[in-house]
Structures are given as structure tokens and as C-alpha cells.
């Protein structure tokens, strides 16, 4: 019943809203990792972007003006994560807030010892449980240049949002019944321990060493690599790559290979 109402609403939105072709091509052209998708998949991605933009307000803060192109670039990268999943994974929030640069969060938290922590310093992005995704636009823009920057902020923050759908951000997203949590956790723990040891030993890792911060950051950073540089993740952590493939229901490394490009 609710499913059919939802589908009916979605059809109405898709009929009433569209992204102009030139704007769509411009946004896709700035995100080279999208080249692996077939026309059918790209069509579904475009529908997902229309629905995402209908459901979310992408608003500027501290004087930042969000352009139509910026809206599509952000929505595209959020939607690529759920292309084979469900947009419902983003149902727990309505706003994406975009700053003109790094921002200092104004929250406080109390640790187990009762010590209250405030502003830990400027951030490029933040995903809050049940709350908005916050992004620094220059850091979003830098993500388009994976070769030089090795980061994708939008994928990172939306991976955190997905992770949070099964409780705290802990590196274990809401797994389907076909994926045993024990296998996910064991695989990720082995890869995480190995990565932390490499970072601790001073190795200059190709994967962003920030992934060693916590299992939650490991999931978010590896999700960036999974989409933006999938062969790197498959080469370095093949067992984790297999889990990511099963979770996101995509195999971007195989696509990159079949297209004969890195
Ligand atoms: Zn993070």
C-alpha cells in the first residue's frame, strides 16, 4: 500500500520535473567515474537525481550560493551509491547544507568519562544521524579530480549516512538478509587491521590514511575508492571489495576493466 503510494508519487515527480540535457551532460562530464554506466543505468541515475532533488533542499550557508550545476553534481554522487539499492536509505534527512569552505561545527558531545567536547576544528564535510549532510563546496569540487586529490567528499558523507541507517556509524551498513553480518564484520576487521598497521608503519598508502581513524571512516573512505578508483580497492583488499560489491550490488572494477581503462 505505502509502496504503491510512494511509486505513484515518484511517477508524478518524474513527469513534472526534469534536468535539462545540457546541465545533465555538464554535471556527468565532471565526474569521470560515471563513464562505466550503461545508458539504461544512466537513465535510472537521472531519475534518482530528479527524485533526490525533489525530496531534499540543498541550501547554501555563510553566503554560499548553490548553483543548479552544484545541485546536480552533489545529487549525482549521492545517488550513485544507491543506484542498485533504494533512495529510502536517505529518508531520514531533508537538507544538504553547502558552505563556501571548511566549517566549524557547533555541536558538543560528552564522552564516556563525562568530558564535554566542542568544536574539534574545521571540517570539509559532516553527516549527522537523522540530520543533514554538510559539505564544503571547494572540497566537493576537488573530488572531481580523483587522480590528483584521491578523495570524494560527497560519496564519503553519504556512505556515512547509509552506515548510520543500521545504528551508529560503525562501518557496518544495513546488510540485506543474503549478506551475513559475521562475514562482513570479519572481512572488514581484517582489512582495517592490516590498513592501520600499514599506516602506523609509516607507509605512504594510496588509499587515504584517514581511513585508519575508525571502522566508520574505513567504510566511508573505502566507499569513495570503490566508486572512484575501484581497481585500487580490488587490488589492495579483494575480500573487502567483494563485500562492497555485494552490498552496493555493483562491480565497478569489472566495468572499468571491460572498458579497458584505469
Ligand atoms: Zn568521515
8 CB-near residues (< 8 Å, 6+ apart):
none
More confident call, 18 vs 261: 18
The reported pLDDT for the residue numbered 119 is 63
- CA distance to 26, 98, 153, 170, 214, per residue, from 134 (Å): 23, 6, 10, 19, 20
The reported pLDDT for the residue numbered 167 is 86
Give the angle subtended at the CA of 41 by the CAs of 130 and 91, to the nearest 5°: 15
101 CB-near residues (< 8 Å, 6+ apart):
136, 137, 138
- Using the Cα atoms of residue 43, residue 48, residue 51 and residue 57 in order, give the sign of their dihedral: negative
The reported pLDDT for the residue numbered 223 is 98
Average pLDDT over residues 75-101: 96
- Report how far ligand 1's centroid is from the alpha carbon of 221 (Å): 7
- Report how far ligand 1's centroid is from the alpha carbon of 257 (Å): 29
Question: Whole-model pTM?
Answer: 0.92
Per-residue confidence at 230, pLDDT binned at 50, 70, 90?
very high
- Report how far ligand 1's centroid is from the alpha carbon of 4 (Å): 35
Alpha helix locations (H) across 119-152? 137-142, 146-149
Site of grid cell 531533508: 94
Going by DSSP bridges, is the β-strand pair 116-117/109-110 parallel, antiparallel, or unpaired?
antiparallel
The region of weakest confidence among 61-75, 79-93, 96-110 is 96-110
Site of grid cell 566549524: 104
- Report how far ligand 1's centroid is from the alpha carbon of 156 (Å): 6
SS3 state at 32: helix
Average pLDDT over residues 71-80: 97
The region of weakest confidence among 83-92, 98-107, 134-143, 218-227 is 98-107
pLDDT at 77 over 70: yes
Amino acid at each position: 500500500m505505502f509502496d504503491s503510494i510512494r511509486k505513484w508519487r515518484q511517477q508524478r515527480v518524474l513527469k513534472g520535473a526534469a534536468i535539462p540535457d545540457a546541465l545533465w551532460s555538464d554535471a556527468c562530464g565532471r565526474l569521470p567515474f560515471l563513464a562505466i554506466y550503461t545508458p539504461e543505468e544512466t537513465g535510472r541515475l537521472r531519475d534518482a537525481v530528479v527524485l533526490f532533488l525533489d525530496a531534499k533542499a540543498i541550501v547554501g550557508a555563510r553566503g554560499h550560493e548553490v548553483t543548479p550545476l552544484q545541485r546536480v553534481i552533489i545529487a549525482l554522487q549521492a545517488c550513485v551509491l544507491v543506484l542498485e539499492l533504494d533512495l529510502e536509505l536517505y529518508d531520514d534527512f531533508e537538507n544538504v547544507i553547502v558552505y563556501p569552505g571548511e566549517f566549524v561545527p557547533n555541536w558538543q558531545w560528552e564522552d564516556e568519562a563525562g568530558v564535554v567536547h566542542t568544536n574539534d576544528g574545521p571540517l570539509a564535510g559532516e553527516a549527522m544521524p537523522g540530520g543533514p549532510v554538510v559539505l564544503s563546496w571547494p572540497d566537493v569540487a576537488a573530488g572531481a579530480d580523483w587522480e590528483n586529490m584521491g578523495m570524494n567528499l560527497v560519496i564519503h558523507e553519504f556512505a556515512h549516512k547509509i552506515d548510520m541507517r543500521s545504528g551508529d556509524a560503525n562501518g557496518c551498513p544495513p546488510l540485506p538478509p543474503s549478506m551475513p553480518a559475521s562475514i562482513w564484520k570479519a572481512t572488514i576487521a581484517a582489512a582495517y587491521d592490516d590498513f592501520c598497521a600499514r599506516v602506523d608503519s609509516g607507509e605512504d598508502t594510496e588509499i587515504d590514511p584517514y581511513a585508519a581513524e575508525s571502522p566508520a571512516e574505513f567504510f566511508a573512505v573505502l566507499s569513495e575508492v570503490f566508486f572512484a578508483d575501484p581497481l585500487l580497492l580490488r587490488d589492495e583488499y579483494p575480500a573487502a571489495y567483494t563485500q562492497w560489491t555485494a552490498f552496493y550490488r555493483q562491480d565497478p572494477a569489472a566495468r572499468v576493466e571491460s572498458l579497458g581503462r584505469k
